Amino acid sequence: MLRIYICPKCFNFRMVSRQPDAICFHCGEVLEKCNLEYSQYMNMTEEERNTYKANYIERMKQYQDRMDVISSDKHTMN
Cα 18 to the center of its chain, rounded Å: 18
In which band, very low, low, confident or very high, does the pLDDT at 55 lie, cut at 50, 70 and 90?
very high
pLDDT at 43: 97
Q: Return left, alpha or beta for 7; rule: phi > 0 is left, psi -120 to 50 is alpha, else beta.
A: beta
Residue 58 pLDDT > 80:
yes
Domain ranges, ordered by start, for the chain: 2-77
Per-residue pLDDT at 5 exceeds 90? yes
Residue-level pLDDT at 78: 58
Q: Are 27 and 10 in contact (CB under 8 A)?
A: yes
8 vs 56: CA distance, rounded Å? 9
